[in-house]
Structure 1
Amino acid sequence: MFAIARSVARPRLVASFARAAASVHTLPPLDYSYDALEPHISGEIMNLHHTKHHQAYVNGLNAAEQSYAQAPSPKERIKLQAALKFNGGGHINHTLFWKNLAPTSAGGGEFQAGPLKSAIEKDFGSVEAFKEKMSAKTGAIQGSGWGWLGYNPETSKLEIVTTANQDPLLSHVPIIGIDIWEHAFYLQYKNVKPDYLKAIWNVINFKEAEKRFLEASK
């Protein structure tokens, strides 16, 4: 009887551990208040973007990982790949995005001389040329996605690349990411993406970007 009880308890215990292991992702706090990026990004957008959209990716990722841990067969796990990619990418991308931004009072938009600026000037000609090219390439995304300044470890160069939907950047090390999903700008800029892409440079955290660049290019 003890053996039977133990055999029943073991799967339950394993399932319990699987659920605990899967539900580990949480919404990261912001380093600034929701209205701190105004007038460039409204507090209403930031609040909804963080507490609703990013939270939904966190919830979806935890649910997908829990289902994956409990999936009875490889076929069932394969079915979950899309949910893991979409929600996992959404969580990864947004976690980076919040760090990617800073209020102007805390240095947002300031691009000082340093290794990142030198690399951008080397690879794009000038900081303004880089901004224009990245804004144009990001704005040209059809549907939803992300524009990235990425470091290519194979060429040791900075390159502008895009990803669709919530796909994370895997081919490069992300240095700067711009969210071009409508929820990132529509309440304030409607369908005029160029205005959003112009405004966001005023709150890009170039100090954080340079830290990522230095780490990537070691």
Structure 2
Amino acid sequence: MDRRNFLKLSAGAGALALFQITGVSCAGSGGGLVIQESLPYKADALEPYISEKTIRFHYGKHHAGYVKKLNQMIKGTAYAGLGIEAIVQKTYGSAGETGIFNNAAQVFNHTFYWNSMKPGGGGVPDGVISEKINADFGSYDAFKKDFASAALSQFGSGWAWLVKDGDALKILKTSNADTPIAQGLVPLLTVDVWEHAYYLDYQNRRADYIDAYLEHLVNWAFAETNLVG
């Protein structure tokens, strides 16, 4: 799934359906409800690096919870019917709408995270994304070191990102629900470093989780699609 398609977290017609791990999205219709995109792979597809149990809690409870709460908060407001990216950008920095921003941004961030991974991913990329990484970081190894350092050093809950800022690739870390799209940046890939993303599988070994993500899970095709637009 490319970035353009997954960003179609939009309104539908009717009541919000039950969340499901595989198969179909959490579909909604009417009332301008945001939908939870279905996973781009089966719940056990990232094993042994991320377990099915983690996916079922993370996607089925945490991510689903943000979608449910967001829909409760935007029902009957001017945000009902907007795409998730628009909700994030319109509520960013507004003190009176912090709750809407936090939940909308977490819906966006999680959807982006699922798509940033794939079974059999990771390792050294090729193609346009490889050329750009080499140009902007000096080498893939330099990128890997800097990205892992950002993810590991993020204090508490948050995210590490590879983003495009103008013509340059940069590594960014954000706290809690903060997200690059609120800052006018183009995200290429992300790793979730909230503890619920890895604790069932790695406990306090965040470094091992980050290494597994980079070596075995990164969806470089998705990153390249975001890069070239």
**Is 1:162 equivalent to 2:170 in the alignment?**
no
- The residue matched to 2:75 in structure 1 has which SS? helix
- In structure 1, the residue matched to 2:111 is 95
In the other structure, the counterpart of 1:204 is: 218
**Deviation digits for residues 13-36 of structure 1 (CA, Å, limit 9, x no counterpart):** xxxxxx9434x1122111211111
The correspondence of residues 1-218 of structure 1 with structure 2, limited to 5 A, is 20-22=30-32, 24-66=33-75, 68=77, 80-104=96-120, 108-153=121-166, 156-170=167-181, 171=183, 172-201=185-214, 202-215=216-229
Per residue, is there more helix in 1 or in 2?
1
Q: TM-score, normalized by length of structure 2?
A: 0.76
Contact 2:116 2:222 in 1 (8 A): yes
The runs of at least 4 consecutive aligned structure 1 residues that moved more than 6 Å come to none
Question: What amino acid does structure 2 have at the position aligned with 1:159?
Answer: K
Counterpart code for 2:149: A
Distance 1:94 1:126, change over 3 A: same
**Identity over aligned residues, as a percent?**
34
Alpha carbons 1:60, 1:83 under 8 Å: kept: no
Deviations 1:96-154 (A, max 9, x none): 111111001xxx1254421111110111111121111111111111110110100002x
Q: Distance in 1 between matches of 2:37 and 2:59?
A: 9
Are the counterparts in 2 of residues 189 and 195 from structure 1 also a CA contact under 8 Å?
yes
SS at match of 1:118: helix
* Structure 1 Cα separation of the partners of residues 73 and 99 of structure 2: 6
Letter matched to residue 21 of structure 1 = G
TM-score w.r.t. length of structure 1: 0.79
Number of residue pairs aligned between Structure 1 and Structure 2:
184
Matched residue of 1:109: which SS?
A: coil
Classify 1:148/1:52 alpha carbon distance in 2 versus 1 (closer, same or farther; 3 Å): same
